[in-house]
Structure 1
Amino acid sequence: MFDTMNSPNRNLAIVRAVRDQGGTPTNVAKRFGISRQHVHQILNAYDAGGAEAIAPLSG
């Protein structure tokens, strides 16, 4: 099984968990170990700029 918890596409997995799988931001936040506010920030960034807006920054 694909581990989305440590995936470089983690933010996209968070968006999909809410939008495609019907998860609530609260439940998704708990599942991914982040705050509910962070889930909303990811969703807002995705809405504004798509997948590129939530892609991890390269170091």
Structure 2
Amino acid sequence: MKIVLNRPRCEGHGLCEEAAPTLMHLDDDGELVLHQEEVGDADVPLAQAAVRVCPVAALRLA
């Protein structure tokens, strides 16, 4: 499974980082940085939670 970020849509709220800090973080400029695009089976629930909490639907799983 892969995390897909729609960068122009991301507003830097940080809710995804709270839900999945091992998969992503906001840098000092408020830009989302994915630690990895490919998500292993163990991290799928975290990735799903991050996608679910994004208020602007900037993340999706493919």
User: Which is greater in Rg?
Assistant: 1
Q: Would you say same fold, with TM above 0.5? A: no
Q: Greater share of helix residues, 1 or 2?
A: 1
Q: TM-score, normalised by structure 2?
A: 0.26
Query: Normalising by structure 1, what TM-score?
Result: 0.27
If each structure's strand is expressed as a fraction of its own residues, which one has the higher value? 2
Greater relative contact order structure (CA < 8 Å, 6+ sep) = 2
